Structure 1
């Protein structure tokens, strides 16, 4: 069961993400300030149009993307979420999950001014690719601290 102690602004945003479909993208973007910034491990953009391009690309690249928010907390104009993105890669049937967290900051207007996603691309994506994944697992074994028996 999710732990949610979010204010109304963040609750509206969570609802928009949990139910996000391509046709619902305009409603989601209305929750962002026109000059909002968005950053994740692959993108750093400013403005609704640029944020929209990221989500449109997500819908093109992924099959059945679905967000689940696990925790949410708001304090003043800042909010923090933990979430999972469930999807299937185009051309492949296996389900995948990315686990991450977001820092949100609201403008005085109540619209989202900053959206920063934190997730480990190496663990969540690269390690699941056949060739790159094998290399990453070998590196992780070599670099990890030996476990005591």
Structure 2
């Protein structure tokens, strides 16, 4: 199943296996997270390589996979080694069609998980609560 291959790539994400992950995607693949919206697999490929160039030690751990027809909800834990970003959890909505991933939408809180840990910005966000 393409979803299992795709999730395995995420759990072992590194520059060497990005092409394997990209091969799971439809040409018109759609990606959305709190920072970026992309509308094709080539843009997503560039995005992933840029992130991996900056952060060498990204770790995703799949906690739960729920299937409904050709759609999946995936709960995951994420951490970046040697980073101010503390480990956090999120959920991804992944849609498949004809044996390929057609969309991946991430749901997680960037304020709580990233901005709150940046000096000065974190203080501002804590005052806004």
Q: Does 1:83 align with 2:76?
A: yes
Q: How many residues align?
A: 129
- TM-score, structure 1 as length reference: 0.80
Task: Confirm or deny: 8 A CA contact 2:29 2:102 kept in the other structure.
Answer: yes
Q: Distance in 2 between matches of 1:136 and 1:112?
A: 36
* 1:130 match: secondary structure: coil
CA 1:94–1:129: 2 relative to 1, 3 Å? closer
Structure 1 ranges of 4+ moved more than 2 A: 92-96
* Matching residue within 105, 119, 125 for 2:95: 105
Aligned to 1:46: 39
- TM-score, structure 2 as length reference: 0.92
* Matching residue within 100, 108, 120 for 1:131: 120
* 1:96 match: secondary structure: coil
Q: Distance in 2 between matches of 1:95 and 1:38?
A: 22
Task: Confirm or deny: 8 A CA contact 1:10 1:74 kept in the other structure.
Answer: no
Q: Structure 2 unaligned runs (5+)?
A: none
Aligned to 2:49: 56
* 2:87 match: secondary structure: strand
